[in-house]
Chain A
Amino acid sequence: MNEKELKKILIQAKKDADTVKNQGQLNQVKARFVGRNSQLAQALRLLPKLTLHDRKTQGKLLNRTRQDLEQIFSQRSAELLRRTDFAPVDLTAPGDFESYGHLHPSSRILAQIYAAFTSLGFAIVDGPEIETDWYNFEVLNMPPEHPAREMQDTFYLEQHYQGRPLIPRTHTSGMQVRFLEKNPPPAKIIVPGRVFRNENEDATHAWIFTQVEGLVVGEGVSLSDLKGTLEYFIKAVLGQQSEIRLRPSFFPYTEPSVEVDARYSGQWLEMLGAGMVHPAVLERAGIDSSQYSGFAFGVGVERLSQVKFGIADLRLNWRPNLSFLEQF
Chain B
Amino acid sequence: MRVAVESLNRYLDKPLSTEQMVTALLRTEIEVEEVISSAPWDDAIVVGEVKTVAKHPNADRLQLVTVDVGRRQRLQIVCGAPNIAAGMRVAVALVGAALPDGHVIKRADIRGLVSHGMICSEAELGISDDHSGVLVLDHSTPIGKKLCDVWPKTDVLDIKTPSNRWDHLSWLGIAREIAVFGPQPNSLKNPEISEKQHDKIEVENVKKTGQCQRFITVKLRVKNNVRTPRWIVDNLEANGLRSISPVVDISNLVMLEFGQPSHPYDAAKVHGTLQVRHGSPADRLTTIDGAERTLSRQDLVIADGQRVLGLAGVMGGRDSEVTAQTKEIILEVAVFDATTVRRMALRHGLRSEASVRFERGLPLPLPQLAADRLVDLLADVCEAELLDSPTDQLYQPIQTRQIGLRLHRAERLLGLELDEAFVVTGLRRLGLAVEHFSLSREAERQLGKPFALQPSGQAGDGSRFNGPSLISYLYGRLGTWVGDTVADQWRSGTAVEGSLLRAGDVLFVGRPGSKRTAAKPSQVGFYVGKNKVLEAVSHKYNLKSRRLEKLPAAAVRLSPLADYLNHPAYLGARRYVANFNHILAITVPWWRTDLNREEDIVEEIIKLIGYDSLQSTLPQLPPQPTGRHQLLPDILLLKQQLAATGWFEIMSYSFIGRDDLGRVGLPLSRHLSVANPLSSEQAYLRSNLLPSFLNVLDKNSRYATEMGWFEISKVHRRIDRALPVEEQWQLGIMAVGTNSLRRLRGWLDWLAQRQGMALTVRPVEHNWFIDGRAAKLNLDGRLAGRFGQLKPALVGKNAAESEVSYAEIAIEPMLSKTKPRRAQPVLAYQSVSRDMSLELDLALPWAQVAGLLAAAPRLLRYALVDDYRGKQVPRGKKIITVRLVFDLGAQPSAAAIDAHYQTVAQILQRRLQATIR
Q: Which of A's residues lie within 8 Å of B, judged by CB?
A: 98-104, 106-107, 110-111, 114, 118, 120-126, 128-130, 145, 147-148, 150-151, 155-162, 166, 168, 186-189, 192, 194, 196, 198, 200-201, 207-208, 216, 218, 220-225, 227-229, 231-232, 245-250, 252, 255-259, 276, 278-279, 293, 317-323, 325-326
B725, A166: Cβ atoms under 8 Å?
Answer: yes
Q: Interface stretch among B23-31, B226-234, B837-845?
A: B23-31
Contacts of B675 in A (CB 8 A): 155-158
Q: Would B597 and A104 count as touching, CB distance under 8 A?
A: no
Which chain B residues in 591-608 approach chain A with CB under 8 Å? Answer: 597, 599-600, 602-603, 606-607
B 619-676 contacts with A by CB, 8 A? 619-626, 629, 631-633, 636, 639-640, 642-655, 672-676
Q: Is the CB of B626 within 8 A of A248?
A: no
Q: Contacting B629 at CB < 8 Å: which of A124, A259, A319?
A: A124
What is the size category of the interface that chain B forms with chain A?
A: 35 or more
Q: Note all chain A residues with C-beta closer than 8 A to B616.
A: 224, 227-228, 231-232
Q: Choose one: B416, B603, B621, B700; the contact of A221 (CB below 8 Å).
A: B621
Encode B15-49 as 1/0 by CB contact (under 8 A) with A.
Answer: 00000000000111101000000000000000000
**Contact residues in A for B27 (Cβ distance below 8 Å):** 247-248
**30 pairs from A and B in contact (CB 8 Å cutoff):** A99-B706, A101-B643, A103-B643, A104-B649, A118-B633, A121-B624, A130-B672, A155-B677, A156-B675, A159-B718, A161-B722, A194-B713, A207-B682, A220-B620, A222-B415, A223-B416, A224-B414, A228-B615, A228-B616, A248-B28, A248-B611, A250-B164, A255-B599, A255-B602, A278-B599, A279-B597, A293-B413, A318-B653, A320-B699, A323-B703
A198, B678: Cα distance in complex, Å? 7
A158: B residues at CB distance < 8 A: 672-675
B480 → chain A, closest Cβ, in Å?
Answer: 10
B724 in the interface, Cβ–Cβ < 8 Å? yes
Query: Interface segment, B56-64, B268-276, B336-344?
Result: B336-344
Complex Cα spacing A76 to B713, Å: 60
B352 vs chain A, min Cβ distance (A): 15
Contact of B339 among A128, A145, A196 (CB under 8 A): A145
| Interface residues as binary, B699-741 with A (CB distance below 8 Å gives 1, 0 otherwise) | 1100110110100011010100011110100000000000000
- Are A227 and B611 touching (Cβ within 8 A)? yes
A229 touches B619 (CB 8 A): yes
The reply to whether A223 and B413 form a contact with Cβ atoms under 8 Å apart is yes
Least CB separation from A252: chain B residue: B164
Q: A178 CA to B823 CA in the complex, in Å? A: 40
- Pair B722/A186 contact, Cβ less than 8 Å: no
Does the CB pair B412–A222 fall under 8 Å? yes
Q: Separation in Å of the A22 CB from the closest CB of chain B? A: 23
Q: How far is the CA of A222 from the CA of B408 in the complex (A)?
A: 12
Residue of A nearest to B356 (CB): A147
Alpha-carbon gap, A216 to B619, bound state (A)? 8
Other contacts beyond A157-B675, A222-B617, A249-B29: 19, CB < 8 A: A101-B645, A101-B648, A104-B650, A121-B622, A123-B626, A123-B629, A130-B685, A151-B163, A159-B672, A221-B621, A222-B412, A229-B619, A245-B612, A246-B614, A248-B27, A256-B599, A256-B602, A318-B652, A319-B652
Known contacts A245-B612, A293-B412; is-contact A225 B618 (Cβ 8 Å): yes
Using a CB–CB cutoff of 8 Å, the interface residues on chain B facing chain A are 26-29, 31, 162-165, 338-339, 342-343, 359-360, 412-416, 597, 599-600, 602-603, 606-607, 611-612, 614-626, 629, 631-633, 636, 639-640, 642-655, 672-678, 682, 685, 696, 699-700, 703-704, 706-707, 709, 713-714, 716, 718, 722-725, 727
Contacts of B611 in A (CB 8 A): 227, 245-248, 258
Summed over the interface, the residue pairs from A and B with CB atoms below 8 Å come to a total of 259
Q: Which B residues touch A128, using CB under 8 A?
A: 725, 727
Tell me what chain A mostly uses at the interface: helix, strand, loop, or mixed: mixed
Cβ–Cβ < 8 Å partners of B653 in chain A: 208, 318-319
User: Is A106 within 8 A of B651, CB to CB?
Assistant: yes
Give the chain A neighbours of B600 by CB distance below 8 A.
Answer: 255
Chain B residues lying within 8 Å of A111, measured Cβ to Cβ, are 636, 640
* Shortest distance between the CB of B709 and any CB in chain A (Å): 7
Contact A101 B163 (CB under 8 A): no
For B26, list chain A residues within 8 Å (CB). 247
The minimal Cβ–Cβ distance linking B155 to chain A, given in whole angstroms, is 20
**Docked complex Cα distance between A159 and B683 (Å):** 13
Given known A155-B676, A221-B619, A293-B413, contact A250–B162 (CB-CB < 8 A)? yes
Residue from A107, A157, A208 in contact with B654 in the complex, judged by beta carbons closer than 8 Å: A208
What B residues does A246 contact at CB under 8 A? Answer: 611-612, 614
A99 cross-chain contacts in B, Cβ below 8 A: 646, 706-707
> In the complex, what residues of B have CB within 8 A of residue A223's CB?
413-416, 606, 614
9 shortest A-B CB distances, which residue pairs? A224-B415, A222-B415, A121-B623, A250-B162, A256-B603, A228-B616, A246-B611, A101-B643, A320-B650
Q: Which of B29, B164, B651, B674 contacts A317 (CB 8 A)?
A: B651
Contacting residues, chain A, for B607 (C-beta < 8 A): 248, 256
**Chain A hits for B342, CB < 8 A:** 145, 147
CB distance from B634 to the nearest CB of A (A): 10
Write the nearest CB–CB distance from B214 to chain A, whole angstroms: 20
Contact A249 B162 (CB under 8 A): yes
Q: Are A232 and B618 in contact (CB under 8 A)?
A: yes
- Which chain B positions have C-beta within 8 A of A208? 653-655
